[in-house]
Amino acid sequence: MPKPPDKNRRPQRGPKHRPKQQRFSKPKKEAPQPLPNTQEVEGMRLNKYVAHCGICSRRQAADYIKEGLVTVNGEKVTEPGYQVQEGDKIAFRGKLIRPEKKLVYLLLNKPKDYITTSKDERGRRTVLDLVGDKVKERIFPVGRLDRATTGLLLLTNDGELAEKLAHPSHKVQKLYHVVLDKALAAVDLDKIRNGLELEDGQALVDAVDYVQGNKKNEVGIELHIGRNRIVRRIFEHLGYEVVRLDRVYYAGLTKKDLPRGRWRHLTEKEVIMLKHFT
């Protein structure tokens, strides 16, 4: 008579009965989301609205609003925090403005004797003259390079990004090639490294050194402070004249394959890098 099965004994299974191991597919990396081309205006601050119209950065827009240059539905509004409502008609200097539908980012290698502004009342050549009518959107330069300074300059209609790049808290790196009227003494080089005390406060640099393979009157200086004419004033404070000043690096962007006086659109990768950089 056969023995009854042992309930505590596990049934023997051959290899073909082994349960299959569950396989987990690796999560797919999410593709970068496309950059937004439109902005919702309901409840948007007025200075942000003006910035999205490609006029200027949000900080500059706030100043324009306080100066009374912006109207809402024909009425002057001087409060940058005014909440824009759908259907509001907003004008800047008497002309209706609307948020740009397409965000544009240009990198320009500025030549000498061009003004870093959108328009010059004295009729001098501006950096926008180099772009001409090849870009239909209203764009403006981010930050400033003085008339004699050459090198990298960003042009855009993205007021939010311009605000981030210009704000000192983000410490956007800039590298300049400086040519002086005479050799820079080693003791003065150390003074610059340690930070000079100028009339508007201490000027701290991130790095400074002689340009390798050149004479001692050529210097590379890296900094993130953005005060007016700061590089020139650093050397003038020590008795040197800046003969040539060229910005060769800005916020991760370089002049590679960009001749003087020429410009190009940033790639999507570069735009994303700028947004994360800040």
- Write out pLDDT tens, residues 163-172: 888 877 778 8
Instruction: Tell me: do 199 and 229 sit in the same domain.
Output: yes
Tens of pLDDT along 134-156?
998 889 999 889 999 999 999 99
Report pLDDT for 89: 93
Quick one: average pLDDT of 216-244? 95
Task: Name the pLDDT band for 213 (thresholds 50, 70, 90).
Answer: confident
Domain-terminating residue out of 61, 79, 96: 96
Confidence band for 102, pLDDT divided at 50, 70 and 90: confident
One domain, residues 209 and 240: yes
Count of structural domains, the chain:
3
CB of 140 within 8 A of CB of 157?
yes
pLDDT score of 122 more than 50: yes
Q: What is the pLDDT of residue 36?
A: 40
What's residue 188's pLDDT? 97
User: Quick one: 116 and 223 in the same domain?
Assistant: no
161 assigned to some structural domain? yes
Residues 130 and 261 placed together within one structural domain of the fold: yes
Q: Residue 75 pLDDT more than 50?
A: yes
Q: What is the pTM of this model?
A: 0.70
Q: Look at residue 3 in the predicted model and tell me its pLDDT.
A: 53
| Domain contains 242 | yes
Same domain, 161 and 265: yes
Residues of the chain with pLDDT > 70, as a percent, come to: 85
The CATH number of the domain holding residue 264 is 3.30.70.580
- Name the pLDDT band for 278 (thresholds 50, 70, 90): low
Place of tokens 């956007």: 172
Residue 53's CATH number: 3.10.290.10
Q: What is the CATH number of the domain that holds 185?
A: 3.30.70.1560
Cβ-Cβ contacts under 8 Å for 273 (sequence gap 6 or more): 252
pLDDT at 117 over 60: yes
Q: Exposure of 53 by Cβ count < 10 A (0-12 exposed, 13-18 middle, 19+ buried)?
A: buried
Percentage of residues in the chain with pLDDT exceeding 90?
Answer: 59
Tell whether 29 is covered by a domain.
Answer: no
CB 92 within 8 A of CB 50: yes
User: Do 190 and 82 fall within a single domain?
Assistant: no
How many beta carbons lie within 10 A of that of residue 229, not counting itself?
13
At 27-63, the pLDDT tens digits run: 343 444 443 444 567 788 999 899 888 788 888 899 9
| Any domain includes 50 | yes
> Cβ atoms within 10 A of the Cβ of 34, count?
7
Per the prediction, the chain carries an average pLDDT of 85
Return the half-sphere exposure (C-beta side, CA atoms, 13 A cut-off) of residue 70.
31
| Catalytic choice (146, 181, 190, 209) | 146
| 151 and 191 housed in the same domain | no
For residue 232, being part of any structural domain is answered with yes
Same domain, 155 and 261: yes
Predicted local confidence at residue 243, as pLDDT = 97
Residue 15 lies in a domain: no
Q: What is the 3-state secondary structure (H, E, C) of the chain?
A: CCCCCCCCCCCCCCHHHCCCCCCCCCCCCCCCCCCCCCCCCCCEEHHHHHHHCCCCCHHHHHHHHHCCCEEECCEECCCCCCEECCCCCEEECCEECCCCCCCCEEEEEECCCCECCCCCCCCCCEHHHHHCCCCCCCCEECCCCCCCCEEEEEEECCHHHHHHHHCHHHCCCEEEEEEECCCCCHHHHHHHHHCEEECCEEECCCEEEECCCCCCCEEEEEECCCCCCHHHHHHHHCCCCEEEEEEEEECCEECCCCCCCCEEECCHHHHHHHHHHC
Residues 115, 124: contact at Cβ < 8 Å?
A: yes
Shared domain for 141 and 244, answered yes or no, is no
Helix axes 159-166, 268-277, angle to 10 degrees: 50
Residue 158 lies in a domain: yes
Domain boundary among 62, 96, 130: 96
Same domain flag for 242 and 270: no
Residue 21 has pLDDT above 60, yes or no: no
| Residue 24 falls inside a structural domain | no
Residues 163 and 267 in one domain: yes
Could you tell me if 180 and 240 are in contact, meaning their C-beta atoms sit under 8 angstroms apart? yes
Whether residue 80 contacts residue 66, with contact meaning beta carbons closer than 8 Å, is answered with yes
Domain of 148 in residue numbering reads as 105-168+255-277
Residues 81, 191: one domain? no
- Domain final residue pick, 96, 115, 138: 96
Taking the mean position of all CA atoms in its chain, how far away is CA 53? Answer: 17
pLDDT score of 214:
83
- Does the active-site annotation cover 206? no
Six-digit token pair at 80? 């940058």
Q: Which residues contact 140 (CB under 8 A, 6 or more apart)?
A: 54, 55, 56, 118, 155, 156, 157, 162
pLDDT, tens digit, 9 for 90 and up, residues 246-274: 999 999 999 999 999 999 999 989 998 88
